[in-house]
A and B are shown apart, each in its own frame.
Chain A
Amino acid sequence: MSEASAPLSPWQTARITRIEKRTPRVTSFFFALSRPFAYRAGQHVDVRLTAPDGYQARRSYSIASAPESGAAIELAIEKLDDGEVSPFFHEVAAVGDEIELRGPLGGHFVWSDSDGGPLLLVGGGSGVVPLMAMVRHRTLRKSAVPVALMFSVRVWDEVIFRDELISLDDRRDGFDLVLTLTREAAQRPSDYSRRIDTAMVMQAQARLPQPPALAFVCGANAFVSAAAQALIDAGISADIIRTERYGV
């Protein structure tokens, strides 16, 4: 294979440097890359596991860390009981292990502060991960772009990055966090306890100084379908809504 046709994102080895439990079902794994790459908030990597007999399993995981946060990348991986790769990470992977990955991948569900805003981010469960990279990117860039993050989870203990998000919300610097718990009472006065609907989107939108210029919606397929429809019904043009879906 000639140099010119080499893959833009070749497989590389990355070492797990830190493991941090985020919620009962989501754990963050920090990887030191052997070939560090520049990436944009919202991009993902493909991870590949290889068994002794050569069998391989691969899955895509969004990067949770901001591009400017240093050489290590953070993947926040939700454990799926019927999964093949996520149980490996949750039950087997340890600090020091070497894992194959390639990236950065995906050029659509991405945002940089130079893209402007205001921005409406809508995440369901672990769908918040690529949105977290955008929020962290905004913070580290000291960007003034107004951002509202609507984050839907079942219960308070499943709010991934909860302390960090609440402390960013408390800064009152143009980032607004709207939590909604679908199976528990709201814990903060400004939060909700129901599924995301049109009225909630309109209220979240009203926290932005102008209507959003871009909206990103990420989560399980049923969540994204319902949330994207709620955005459209709230008057947001389908042309500015980008989605990323997973699951059946």
Chain B
Amino acid sequence: MVTRGFSSGRKPPTETDTRIPPGQYLEQGFPVLSAGPTPRVRTEDWSFTLKHGPRPIKKWNWAEFNQLPLTKMTRDIHCVTAWTKFDTAWQGVLVDDILADAGIEAPTGFLLAHGYDGYTTNVPAKDLTTGKAMVALLYEGKPITADHGGPARLLVPHLYFWKSAKWLNGLQFTERDEPGFWELRGYHIYGDPWREQRYSGDP
């Protein structure tokens, strides 16, 4: 439905609009969103636990985690609140390298990411492996600030950014696809920005 009096003055130039998913706009800044206050996690207190169900597979402290191979990833990111930011530059540890260090292959098809703030979000294993996702430790070459999820956040750039859990402290393999925090509160179980899967029931 055409809106009376609304024009496409902000329509992105054609060389970039193929990079902007439907319903998104290009943001130059880096907005901050979270469901609660910002946790301040010191790296000396930080740890990361890989679990299968309730069972821990391996736990790393900050120094140990930083010994894992560091990978660079520069990607466009898409927030469900409709902003898209181009070319965000991260460095971190690929989920593939975490699994390799733990000496396992994905034992189930689904994971829940856990944050220090109690936040959870679910992502299928195939969306976290084969180089698609990492636990990011640096943004634009510097430690990730607390506002943006530091010391460590998940980066799953091909899904809406609520899947890229902030203040990450663990990944847990689950037998079923278990909805996380926002997925239990009306947001889409998968969250593909190119299919505009924002809210529960979106096709």
A49 contact set on B, CB distance < 8 A: 3, 6
| Interface hit among B31-39, B107-115, B132-140, B168-176 | B31-39
Per-residue interface assignment for chain A, residues 42 to 66, with 1 indicating a CB less than 8 Å from any chain B CB and 0 otherwise: 0000101111111111111000000
With both chains docked as a complex, state the minimum distance between the C-beta of B179 and any C-beta of chain A, in angstroms: 11
Q: How far is the CA of A174 from the CA of B118 in the complex (A)?
A: 32
Q: How far is the CA of A226 from the CA of B93 in the complex (A)?
A: 32
Q: Are B37 and A238 in contact (CB under 8 A)?
A: yes
B118 contact set on A, CB distance < 8 A: 239
B55 located at the interface, meaning its Cβ lies under 8 Å from any Cβ of chain A in the complex: no
B203 located at the interface, meaning its Cβ lies under 8 Å from any Cβ of chain A in the complex: yes
With both chains docked as a complex, state the minimum distance between the C-beta of B26 and any C-beta of chain A, in angstroms: 11
Q: Which of A57, A59, A99 has the most CB of B within 10 A?
A: A57
Q: In the complex, what residue of chain A is closest to B34 when comparing beta carbons?
A: A243
Q: How far is the CA of A97 from the CA of B3 in the complex (A)?
A: 8
B147 located at the interface, meaning its Cβ lies under 8 Å from any Cβ of chain A in the complex: yes
Q: In the complex, what residue of chain A is closest to B5 when comparing beta carbons?
A: A92
B89 located at the interface, meaning its Cβ lies under 8 Å from any Cβ of chain A in the complex: no
| Interface hit among B64-72, B98-106, B153-161, B194-202 | B194-202
Q: How far is the CA of A33 from the CA of B22 in the complex (A)?
A: 24
A1 contact set on B, CB distance < 8 A: 203
Considering the complex, which residues of chain B in the window 9-35 have a beta carbon less than 8 Å from any beta carbon of chain A?
Answer: 9-11, 22-23, 25, 27, 29-35
A149 located at the interface, meaning its Cβ lies under 8 Å from any Cβ of chain B in the complex: no
B125 located at the interface, meaning its Cβ lies under 8 Å from any Cβ of chain A in the complex: no
Partner of B36, one of A13, A60, A241: A241
Q: How far is the CA of A81 from the CA of B147 in the complex (A)?
A: 26
A169 located at the interface, meaning its Cβ lies under 8 Å from any Cβ of chain B in the complex: no
Q: Are B7 and A8 in contact (CB under 8 A)?
A: no
Q: Are B8 and A53 in contact (CB under 8 A)?
A: yes
Per-residue interface assignment for chain B, residues 71 to 94, with 1 indicating a CB less than 8 Å from any chain A CB and 0 otherwise: 000000000011000000000000
Q: List 13 A-B contacts (CB under 8 A).
A: A8-B199, A8-B200, A9-B201, A52-B2, A52-B7, A56-B22, A92-B5, A97-B4, A106-B186, A108-B181, A108-B185, A228-B37, A245-B31
Q: Which residues of A contact B (CB under 8 A)?
A: 1, 5-9, 13, 46, 48-60, 84, 88, 92-93, 97-100, 102, 105-109, 221, 225, 228-229, 231-232, 238-239, 241-243, 245-248
